[in-house]
Amino acid sequence: DVKVTQSSRYLVKRTGEKVFLECVQDMDHENMFWYRQDPGLGLRLIYFSYDVKMKEKGDIPEGYSVSREKKERFSLILESASTNQTSMYLCASSLRLTGSEKLFFGSGTQLSVL
């Protein structure tokens, strides 16, 4: 069974903290993605990666960075957390970047920044 695992379901952090969100997939997928999901705004792409050590900005990369040192692991980093980064964060992986792409999502991390 395919699996995308996010390390935490719920996180509470303080403004200014450095925050790491971890994601691991066991499907040997090349492509991995980080989205945030907010009521009324839907899913928005933060960053994606199509290979180890490669990264591409999505629609809202400001305030975030990513790391992909191993194929199965994709980390999202909030360098200095702010209250407007309170959100549901979803990691996903897929086999191909173009064409009929099927995304597999993790269960999400609900991050609250106080």
Q: How far is Cα 90 from Cα 85, in angstroms, rounded to an integer?
A: 13
Work out whether 1 is an interface residue with other proteins (CB under 8 A): no
Work out which of 90, 93, 111, 113 binds other proteins, going by CB under 8 A: 90
Cβ atoms of 76 and 32 within 8 Å: the answer is no
Facing residues of 66 across strands?
Answer: 76
Neighbours of 105 (CB within 10 A): 16
Work out whether 53 is an interface residue with other proteins (CB under 8 A): no
Stretch that binds other proteins, among 35-43, 60-68, 69-77, 79-87 (CB under 8 A): 35-43
Q: Would you say 16 or 88 has its CB closer to other proteins?
A: 88
